[in-house]
A = this chain, B = another copy of it.
């Protein structure tokens, strides 16, 4: 299915970081629409669904050009495909999880990778009691075999759920092995000066603090 209207052809290089930041949310909503067999939607309807102004939606989505058409609305499938492409979902990146504790298990058993076109390929750990056990269909590999594994199976993304004490050395090791990106869940930010590896530090606690702040503020108002 192709787009119908095409006012101007968009270029991904023109898309601002602010818009890029909002794309995963569009991706999620469009995915849900597709799953419910909704193939077109007006900016007004999308606006209601996402609690964003229709004008914001038009501004964001017109960045890519050629999506909306007067009286027709957005072609959901095309838009989903385009956003997927921009976000790298169509690249089928491969990932490994380093650290097979509770969080590593939770990630391995969730649809988080598959939903975004990322292929989870293996889990690693250092604990002899965990190595060789099966988690969500993966046999946990020893960290001693990481170099051998990556030489045979190119790894795009490493997901770090190790204790913070070993995060830095693990990140350096992964960088040397040619990993392209590190998704870091350890409670210590990674910095690899001079390295080409892209690092995404996850700070789940920041979101807890935002929640606490909002509760605190509301309580203050009610006092």
Contact = CB atoms under 8 A, between A and B. Distances in A.
A211 B25 contact: no
A46 to B, nearest CB: 14
B118 A156 contact: no
A219 B90 CA distance: 13
A106 B106 CA distance: 8
A115 B208 CA distance: 11
Interface in A38-87: 86-87
Secondary structure of the A side of the interface? helix
Given A102-B109, A109-B102, A180-B218, A93 B212 contact: yes
Interface residues of A, number: 56
Given A181-B215, A215-B93, A209 B101 contact: no
A172 interface: no
A24 interface: yes
Q: A109, A111, A200, A213 — which one has the most chain B CB atoms within 10 A of its CB? A: A213
Which 5 A-B pairs have CB atoms at the shortest separation, nearest pair first?
A88-B216, A102-B106, A88-B212, A24-B206, A200-B211
10 contacts: A23-B213, A24-B209, A88-B213, A91-B212, A91-B215, A103-B106, A112-B187, A198-B211, A198-B214, A200-B208
